Amino acid sequence: MRRKIAAGNWKMNGTGAALSELDALAQALPPNPPSVVICPPAPLLYRACEVVAGKGIDIGAQDCHMQSSGAHTGDISAAMIADTGAIYTIVGHSERRAAHEETNAMVRDKAKAAWAAGLTPILCIGEALEDREADNTLNIIGGQLAGSLPSDVSAENTVIAYEPIWAIGTGKVPTLAQIIEVHDFIRERLIARFGQDIGNAIPLLYGGSVKPDNAATIFKAENVDGALVGGASLKAGDFAPIIAALAAC
2 pLDDT tier (thresholds 50, 70, 90): very high
Annotated active-site positions, please? 93, 163
| Whole-number Å distance between alpha carbons of 211 and 238 | 7
User: 3-state DSSP call for residue 9?
Assistant: strand
DSSP letter assigned to residue 244:
H
| Whole-number Å distance between alpha carbons of 237 and 30 | 13
* Residues 122/147, Cβ–Cβ less than 8 Å: no
Check whether 109 has a pLDDT greater than 90: yes
* Residues 61/76, Cβ–Cβ less than 8 Å: yes
Check whether 170 has a pLDDT greater than 90: no
Which CATH number does the domain housing residue 214 bear? 3.20.20.70
Region 37-59: what's the mean pLDDT? 98
| Whole-number Å distance between alpha carbons of 78 and 86 | 10
* Residues 45/86, Cβ–Cβ less than 8 Å: yes
pTM check: above 0.75: yes
CA 243, 92, 132, 139 torsion-angle sign: negative
Domain that holds residue 85: 5-247
Tell me what pLDDT residue 94 has: 95
Number of H helices, E strands in the chain: 11, 8
Going by their DSSP bridges, the two strands 226-229 and 88-91 should be labelled as unpaired
Check whether 171 has a pLDDT greater than 90: no
Number of domains in the chain: 1
